[in-house]
Structures are given as C-alpha cells and as structure tokens.
C-alpha cells in the first residue's frame, strides 16, 4: 500500500472508532494492520483469520467498521458480512478482494457491505472508504440510541387496525383490493399504511403509478432497529389519497434475504403510527406470511367465481382453523362477482359453508385503472365498482372498535407445526 493521507481522528460516542480486520492470509492482515497505523480516523481493535471468529468477535466487541476479506473460510466474506450486519446493530462493513469481477461489487452491496475494495488498495482509497463507513456507523448508532430513548419515554399507544389481504390463488385481485381499500380509508381522513409483502413480485407501487427509490429490503438491510419516523423515510406517499406505502423489494433475490424476524419488526413498528395498516401478500402460505396472518386483526380472503379458487379458499379456511384463528377474523370477499359462469353468490356460500362478507363487480374500468396506475375508487368515484369498494371500506371501519391490540393470538409453535403437518 502506498500514499500518505492525513485523517483526523473520528470520535464516536464510545470514543475513537474501532475497526475489526477479518482477513484469511497473514501477510494481507499484516499489510492492512501496518497501513492503518497511519490512519487517524480509527484504530484496529481486533484481527481474525476465519469467518466464525469474525462473527463472534463482531458480536462481542461491536466495532464501528468490519473490514472483511472475500476469501474467508468456512463461510466466504459475502456471507460473513451479511451475518455480521444482521447481528451487530449500526456496524458498517467493507469487503476486500483480489481481482474482483464486475458482479462481485453487486454481490457485496446485496450482502450489506458499504463498499468493496480491490487488493492491492491505495492508502488514500482505503482511508476514504473507512471515513465514509465510520460516518455511516456513527449516524446509525446515534439514531438507534435516540430510538431507544424515545421508546423508553413514550406512553403506551393504541395500535392500528391491521388488515391482511390474502389468497392462495394468483389473479384473484388481491392487489386491486388492497390498494383500493387502503386508498379509500386514507380518503376518509384516516392515517393509512400499505405494506407490500409480496417479496418477490410485489407490484403495489406499480398499481398506484409510483416508482420506489427505496424499499422494505433497504430498510431492514440498513437498520437493525427503527421507529415509525425512520420507516417513513423508506415509504412512498400516494398524492391522490395521502396513503403511505412501504414497497416490496425491487429484485426477487433481495426478497429471499428478508427473514420472518424482519417482517415481525416491520409490523410491530408500523402499527404504532397509523389508524389502519393494510398488507398485500403473495398467493401462498410461507413462514413470513404466517407472521403477518398471526398479527392481523382481519384477514380478507379474496376469491372469484370459479371452482378452483373456491377450493383454495376452503383449503385456506382449513389451514387457518389449524392455526386456531377465530371465525370473526376471517372474511371472504368475492371479486368479479357478477361474472356469468354458472355460479351465484349463494352457490359460493353453500360451497364454503360460510357467508360472503362483501362482493365486487367486474368492470372494464378495473384493468384500465390498474394500467394507468390509478385507484379506481378515486379516479372513477361514481362507478358501480367504486361504490362497492366504498362499501368494503365501510365494513372495515365498522369493525375498528374491536381492535384487540395483539391479544389472544394463537401460539406460534403449535401453529407452524400444525401447518407443516398439514
């Protein structure tokens, strides 16, 4: 390493910034350790040569920055960075690698690293990357401390009415109903959040004509803890209604990195800042969606006038019976209910053995509104479909007095065992 650059010491609330070096090759560790003796922005607090030690020392010592070699074993540097950043709040990570390929830079960012440097690295480039990483780490930890302080001082607050829109069959209109329900509640003057939990292929933003810069993935990757104010920095505001949206990840592989604990953290926080939270979901059961179903006060099961969909709704009811959900939590809404396919609403009710809570007619205006990125409830307010959607909004508002604030949920262990066995 060559080049001399003077860097004033960066002080954190815990004192001078600390750096952990996790590099497999001894001569590389020695080279970085020697170079960092000239770095005034922080001090090397720990060194290690394998991924297991790197994770353990990072959890114990909570450094401000970890500098990780991609060649680590038994887990490579990308996996090590992902584990450290998910388990050590506020830490910033840098990856270093010999002869990185163009795709390695993207992998590094997806793993949670702030930057990737190619070995050999100039001192000025190393020091600049460390300066930026320490600045981000200091800001993150300051924000976390402020959140903790506010949480300790804040009085107990009423939680939102929590609605999950779900179906185990694609194409039933979940996103259409979720976006219009949320927009209708917001138009009525309520504070409403819409969370897109279709983590691979969510298109809530697209359905409302919006393009996100930051998403749910960016929130959970950037912060181990957050409050409503911080979450809102990652949300879109729908100008026509005032609805706030937390978009799904932009890429399917990002969705794969989101854990059930991440989903629980998001839902626990968002319910404190709104009157209503509406959640759109993918068309299948999985662990992260079970977290949302547990959390919900109301689950809207969306169906249409065809036997395959009705079969799936019936199976969904059976699954949710195993979860010990009370009957009043589950509501069937039939979309495109006036389709002339030889079935009537009474046939649907007879097949399910349950009442249909609400129904929405079919209309050519629905796909037109979706293609235009509009809420039909707002753009075609006088239409039959819009009036039926307002009826659904009214039903949800009528149920708002029964908010259980998360009490009486079934035990997760029994629920997941029963679901897996089923």
One domain, residues 188 and 285: yes
Rounded alpha-carbon distances, angstroms, from residue 50 to 80, 125, 228, 389: 9, 25, 38, 57
Ramachandran area for residue 55 (φ above 0: left; ψ -120 to 50: alpha; else beta): alpha
pLDDT digits (tens, 9 = 90+) for 89-128: 889 999 999 999 989 999 999 999 999 999 999 999 999 9
Residue % of the chain over a pLDDT of 90 = 66
Q: Which residue has the higher pLDDT, 168 or 4?
A: 168
The confidence score (pLDDT) of residue 354 equals: 85
117: domain range?
Answer: 11-152
pTM passes above 0.85 = no
One domain, residues 314 and 173: yes
Domain boundary among 104, 132, 152: 152
One domain, residues 175 and 247: yes
**CA separation for the pair 162, 278 (Å, rounded):** 6
- 65-69 and 43-48 strand pairing: unpaired
One domain, residues 215 and 345: yes
Q: Quick check: is 285 in a domain?
A: yes
One domain, residues 330 and 363: yes
One domain, residues 389 and 343: yes
One domain, residues 141 and 166: no
Q: What is the CATH number of the domain that holds 240?
A: 3.40.50.300
Q: What is the CATH number of the domain that holds 144?
A: 3.40.50.2300
One domain, residues 377 and 309: yes
Q: Quick check: is 417 in a domain?
A: yes
One domain, residues 113 and 189: no
Rounded alpha-carbon distances, angstroms, from residue 146 to 12, 121, 141, 158, 267: 15, 36, 9, 22, 20
**pLDDT range class, residue 420, cuts 50, 70, 90:** very low
pLDDT digits (tens, 9 = 90+) for 281-294: 999 899 999 999 99
Q: Angle formed by the axes of helices 345-352 and 307-322, to 10°? A: 40
**CA separation for the pair 95, 32 (Å, rounded):** 13
The confidence score (pLDDT) of residue 342 equals: 63
- Tell me the three state secondary structure of residue 54: helix
Domain boundary among 118, 152, 186: 152
One domain, residues 111 and 89: yes
Q: What is the mean pLDDT of residues 197-216?
A: 94
One domain, residues 117 and 169: no
Q: Are 35 and 61 in contact, with CB atoms under 8 Å apart?
A: no
Domain boundary among 104, 125, 152: 152
| Dihedral of alpha carbons 339, 342, 344, 346, sign | negative
* DSSP designation for 241: T
One domain, residues 197 and 299: yes
Torsion of CA 401, 247, 391, 393, to 10 degrees: 20
pLDDT digits (tens, 9 = 90+) for 352-374: 888 999 999 988 989 999 899 99
Q: Quick check: is 6 in a domain?
A: no
Q: Quick check: is 200 in a domain?
A: yes
**pLDDT range class, residue 317, cuts 50, 70, 90:** confident
Q: Quick check: is 314 in a domain?
A: yes
**CA separation for the pair 58, 88 (Å, rounded):** 7
Q: Quick check: is 4 in a domain?
A: no
Query: Cα angle at 193 between 191 and 198, to 5 degrees?
Result: 165
Mean pLDDT of the chain: 86
**CA separation for the pair 139, 389 (Å, rounded):** 44
Domain total in the chain: 2
| Dihedral of alpha carbons 175, 179, 184, 190, sign | positive
Residue with the two structure tokens 């952990």: 20
pLDDT digits (tens, 9 = 90+) for 358-416: 999 988 989 999 899 999 999 999 899 999 999 999 999 987 544 433 333 333 333 33
Residues 6 or more apart whose CB falls under 8 angstroms from that of 218 comprise: 234
Q: Quick check: is 70 in a domain?
A: yes
Q: Quick check: is 147 in a domain?
A: yes
């Amino acid at each position: 390493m060559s080049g001399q650059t003077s860097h004033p010491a960066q002080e954190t609330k815990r004192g001078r910034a600390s750096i952990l070096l996790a590099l497999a090759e001894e001569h590389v560790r020695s080279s970085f350790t020697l170079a960092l003796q000239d770095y005034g922005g922080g001090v090397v607090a720990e060194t290690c040569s394998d991924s297991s030690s790197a994770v353990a020392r990072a959890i114990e010592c909570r450094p401000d920055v970890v500098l990780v070699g991609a060649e680590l074993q038994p887990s490579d540097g990308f996996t090590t960075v992902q584990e450290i950043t998910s388990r050590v709040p506020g830490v910033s990570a840098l990856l270093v690698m010999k002869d990185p390929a163009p795709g390695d830079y993207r992998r590094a960012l997806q793993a949670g690293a702030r930057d990737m440097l190619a070995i050999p690295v100039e001192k000025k480039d190393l020091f600049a990357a460390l300066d930026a990483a320490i600045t981000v780490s200091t800001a993150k930890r300051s924000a976390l401390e402020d959140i903790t302080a506010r949480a300790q001082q804040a009085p107990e607050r009423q939680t939102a009415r929590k609605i999950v829109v779900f179906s185990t069959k694609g194409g039933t209109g979940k996103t259409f109903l979720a976006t219009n329900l949320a927009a209708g509640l917001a138009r009525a003057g309520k504070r409403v959040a819409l969370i897109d939990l279709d983590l691979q292929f969510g298109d809530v933003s697209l359905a409302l004509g919006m393009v996100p810069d930051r998403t749910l993935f960016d929130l959970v990757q950037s912060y181990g803890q957050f409050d409503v104010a911080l979450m809102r920095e990652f949300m879109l505001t729908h100008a026509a209604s005032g609805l706030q949206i937390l978009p799904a990840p932009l890429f399917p592989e990002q969705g794969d990195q989101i854990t059930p604990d991440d989903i629980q953290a998001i839902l626990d926080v968002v319910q404190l800042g709104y009157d209503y939270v509406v959640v759109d979901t993918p068309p299948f059961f999985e662990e992260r969606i079970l977290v949302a179903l547990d959390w919900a006060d109301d689950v809207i099961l969306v169906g249409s006038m065809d036997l395959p969909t009705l079969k799936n709704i019936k199976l969904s009811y059976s699954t949710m019976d195993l979860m010990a959900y009370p009957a009043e939590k589950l509501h069937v809404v039939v979309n495109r209910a006036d389709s002339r396919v030889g079935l009537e609403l009474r046939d649907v009710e007879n097949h399910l053995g349950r009442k249909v809570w609400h129904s929405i007619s079919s209309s050519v205006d629905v796909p037109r509104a979706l293609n235009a990125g509009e809420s039909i409830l707002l753009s075609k307010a006088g239409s039959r479909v819009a009036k039926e959607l307002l009826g659904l909004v009214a039903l949800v508002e009528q149920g708002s007095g029964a908010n259980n604030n998360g009490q009486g949920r079934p035990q997760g262990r029994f629920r997941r065992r029963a679901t897996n066995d089923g």
